Every structure is written in C-alpha cells, then in structure tokens.
Amino acid sequence: MARIVMKFGGTSVADLDRIRAVAQRVKRQRNAGHEVAVVVSAMSGTTNRLVGWCQALSPLHDAREYDTVVATGEQVTTGLLAIALQEIGVEARSWQGWQIPIRTDNAHGKARIAAIEGAELIRRMQAGQVPVVSGFQGIAPTGRITTLGRGGSDTSAVALAAALHADRCDIYTDVDGVYTTDPRIVPKARKLAKISYEEMLELASVGAKVLQTRSVELAMNEHVRVRVLSSFQDGPDDGAVGTLVVDEDEIVEKEIVSGIAYSRDEAKVVLRRVPDRPGIAASVFGELAQRSVNVDMIVQNAAADGTTDLTFTLGKADLPRAQAALGALASQIGFAELLTDPNVAKISVVGVGMRSHAGVANTMFRALADKAINIQVISTSEIKVSVLIAAEYTELAVRALHTAYGLDAD
C-alpha cells in the first residue's frame, strides 16, 4: 500500500472521454490498495481561451482578476473528474486552492506556494476518499485566488505530494518518460528508468520540457519521488513504467552521461574590444539585469592591447531589450563593436557520473570536431557541459554526441 499523488495535464483531461479514462486509471490505483489524491489541469484549450479574453479586454489587465478568471479552468475539471469517479464507484471530492487551503504569496499570475494544510485530505484519503485538487492555483494572504503561472500544475502536484507525505508523485503527460535526448532527432534515444533531480533540472533548463523546472526544484528540496509517465498508454500501471525522478542516492548504476539536451531559444551577443579594466563586466551585466534580461553563458577572453572581447548568451526574446540597453552603454564604457547572432544553439551533455569521471568534456569536443562543428562558447557546471554552435548543426551535433556517449539503443 502506497500513498500516491496522480497529476493529469490538460491534454489528459481534454474532453469527457479522456476524463472518464483518467477516472478508470485512478480507480485501478485505488483497487490496487493505494491511497490516491489527484491534481488536474484545465481541459486543454480552456486556459488559452480565458487568457485571450482577459488580454482582449485589457492588455495590461489586473493580475488579480486574471487569476480569478483563469483559475476556473481547473475548477471545472475537478468537479467533472469527481463526478466521473463517483459514477464508477470511487468516492471522490473536488478541492479548490482556497478550500484546502493551498497558501501562496501575493504574486498574482506567478505566485509561489507557501504552505499546504494536508491533514484534512490525509484523513479523507485514509477513509477511502479520493481528493481531486485544482492544480495551478492557491489563495493569497488577502483571500484572493492566485495562480502559479503557466505549467504550475506540476508544481502543485509535487507540493501536494510533500504535504500529504506521499510515497510518489505520478505526473501523467503526453510522453511516456524522460529520454536520453529528443526522439524526434535521434530515433535511437532510450527512455531512462531513473534520473536524478539534478540531471532533470539541467535537462529542463536546456529545453527538455517534460517537467516544469520549479516542480523539479521543489521535488528535490522536499525529497518527493516523481514519476513521469504517459496518460495515453493503456494497461496496468504497476509502478515500473515511465521514468522516476529521484535522489541521486537511489540510482545505483549511474550513467556518466544521462542525456543530451539542446535549446534554440538563445542568442549570442559579442562586445568587441571592451576596455580591460575592473568594473566593466559589472556595468554591462548590471545594466542588463536592471532591464530583466537573464544572461546565461558568459565568456571573456584574455586581454590583449588593453582590450578584451566579452561574449554571452541570452533569451532570443530579450535580444531587442538587450540591444537597447547596450547601445545606451556604448559611449559610457567604450567598446569597438556590438555583434549579435540569433542563429545559435546550445547543446548540453548532462550526467551526475561526470563528477567522478574525467574526460567527459573532451569526448564532446572530439565528437563535434569529427563532424567539423565549430564551438563558439563553452560553459560547464558540475554535472553539465554546454557548448554554443551554429543553429544549423543542431541535429547533427545531438546525434553525434548521443552516439559518442554510448546512449544509442540497440
């Protein structure tokens, strides 16, 4: 007997038939003797429609009212799923954020969960009832409805699993697990049985959008075992399918490299011949931070002739704002040239095994060199090596690295 939080996203509850299928899936877990709580998103399309209405009425609408409107999507799903569960003999009850309550801060539209009172739900689960909880929402100290921001339902599910002391948080989605890389690029990509929180975070932050980053951070901090699995595969779900996201300690056979991720969402900026004196980097990145531009990779070459080149990457969407900020700064700090290039891709190899294995980066550089792919920028973390390359080589690079690290399926 385990206590499980099951989370179903928008496509999994897109219509009444899908909601009935979810109810059957929940019933199977109940019949297997587990205590179950369910977290649901809005039926797919609903949130976009509601957001569109708010924007049409006022581009700069009040986030408090936006939250009131948008949170109705999840509320509808909870009631419908509770009805579908009751119809097949499973005792169930819907719960909104304010009813549990799921307390958040006051940051409407992108609130963070502060606390969840789980005692009443635990009591009901122990009595055989299935709580069906609205994801993506909570209640602010002011008593108003908040939403967690797009994709927040994963975070709701993990936070609820922590509050309920659940053995596992099962995230049902439209993929059947976490792969060594994007199977659309590498048909030989393998599904991972287990992956560590840290690896999952690195993969998520570089574009493998299976789980929302915040939900993985929360799972790591609260030690919630998360399983990613498909809501579209039929058959029994005995806990062995999908991918488990867990503490590194739970992974006995650590792969040196678990996955290859890529992102085409970034742009490269080069400041040529920047004066090489203290405080220059602080002015540049301080100015960008003030305009809410997040900088990712940063490289500064060794100085020559009293000047240096400063290269960094940032989100493509932020590029116009960054150009404006740097243009204003040009006369102040004095640099020769501002070059930008949106046609770049960031390729990353991720794996906790790197910590204890040398030569991981070198394997990467060699594999790319063998394909004559030029590396523009390099950055590394404890469990990740990322390189920036021309966007046109993305698929070629991912395939070459997947093979080089021995990740191809037989």
Cβ 128 to a copy of itself, closest distance in Å?
A: 16
Residues 6+ apart with CB under 8 A from 113: 102, 103, 104, 138, 148, 155, 156, 159, 218
Task: Single out the residue of 3, 28, 93, 264 in contact with a copy of itself (rule: CB under 8 A).
Answer: 93
Please report whether residue 348 would count as binding a copy of itself according to CB under 8 A. Answer: no
Please report whether residue 68 would count as binding a copy of itself according to CB under 8 A. Answer: yes
Number of H helices, E strands in the chain: 12, 20
Task: Single out the residue of 3, 20, 150, 264 in contact with a copy of itself (rule: CB under 8 A).
Answer: 20
Residues 131-190 that bind a copy of itself (CB under 8 A): 143-144
Task: Single out the residue of 2, 16, 324, 339 in contact with a copy of itself (rule: CB under 8 A).
Answer: 16
Task: Single out the residue of 3, 61, 112, 190 in contact with a copy of itself (rule: CB under 8 A).
Answer: 61
Task: Single out the residue of 78, 155, 231, 313 in contact with a copy of itself (rule: CB under 8 A).
Answer: 78
Residues 6+ apart with CB under 8 A from 359: none
Size of the site for a copy of itself (CB under 8 A): 36
Alpha helices in 264-393, H assignment, sequence order: 280-290, 319-333, 360-370
Task: Single out the residue of 69, 185, 338, 396 in contact with a copy of itself (rule: CB under 8 A).
Answer: 69
DSSP string, 110-145: S--EEEE--HHHHHHHHTT-EEEEESSEEE-TTS-E
Please state, as a whole number, how many other Cβ atoms lie within 10 Å of the Cβ of residue 194. Answer: 20
Sign (positive/negative) of CA torsion 197, 135, 142, 51? positive
Please report whether residue 235 would count as binding a copy of itself according to CB under 8 A. Answer: no
Cβ 63 to a copy of itself, closest distance in Å?
A: 10
Residues 21-60 that bind a copy of itself (CB under 8 A): 50, 53-54, 56-58
Please report whether residue 121 would count as binding a copy of itself according to CB under 8 A. Answer: no
Please report whether residue 94 would count as binding a copy of itself according to CB under 8 A. Answer: yes
- CA torsion angle for 255, 193, 202, 138 (degrees, to 10)? -160
DSSP-assigned letter for residue 179 = B
Cβ 39 to a copy of itself, closest distance in Å?
A: 15
Please tell me whether residue 259 adopts helix, strand or coil conformation. strand
| Distance separating alpha carbons of residues 275 and 297, to the nearest angstrom | 20
Cβ 237 to a copy of itself, closest distance in Å?
A: 22
| Distance separating alpha carbons of residues 210 and 47, to the nearest angstrom | 19
- Taking the least distance from each CB to a copy of itself, the nearer of 140 and 322 is 140
Please report whether residue 109 would count as binding a copy of itself according to CB under 8 A. Answer: no
Task: Single out the residue of 45, 62, 236, 275 in contact with a copy of itself (rule: CB under 8 A).
Answer: 62
- Taking the least distance from each CB to a copy of itself, the nearer of 93 and 112 is 93
Please report whether residue 96 would count as binding a copy of itself according to CB under 8 A. Answer: yes
Cβ 95 to a copy of itself, closest distance in Å?
A: 9
Cβ 12 to a copy of itself, closest distance in Å?
A: 16
- Measure Cα distances from 181 to 50, 138, 198, 265, 399 in Å: 34, 34, 16, 17, 9
Please, which residues bridge with residue 116 across strands? Answer: 102
Question: Using CB under 8 A, which of the segments 70-78, 199-207, 295-303, 393-401 binds a copy of itself?
Answer: 70-78
Q: 112 burial class (0-12, 13-18, 19+ CB within 10 angstroms)? A: middle
> Would you put residue 279 in left (φ > 0), alpha (ψ -120 to 50) or beta?
left
- Taking the least distance from each CB to a copy of itself, the nearer of 50 and 375 is 50
Please state, as a whole number, how many other Cβ atoms lie within 10 Å of the Cβ of residue 48. Answer: 14
Question: Using CB under 8 A, which of the segments 16-24, 225-233, 299-307, 320-328 binds a copy of itself?
Answer: 16-24
Please give the residue ranges that form the binding site for a copy of itself (CB under 8 A). 16, 19-20, 50, 53-54, 56-58, 61-62, 64-69, 71-72, 75-76, 78-80, 82-84, 86-87, 93-94, 96, 98-99, 143-144
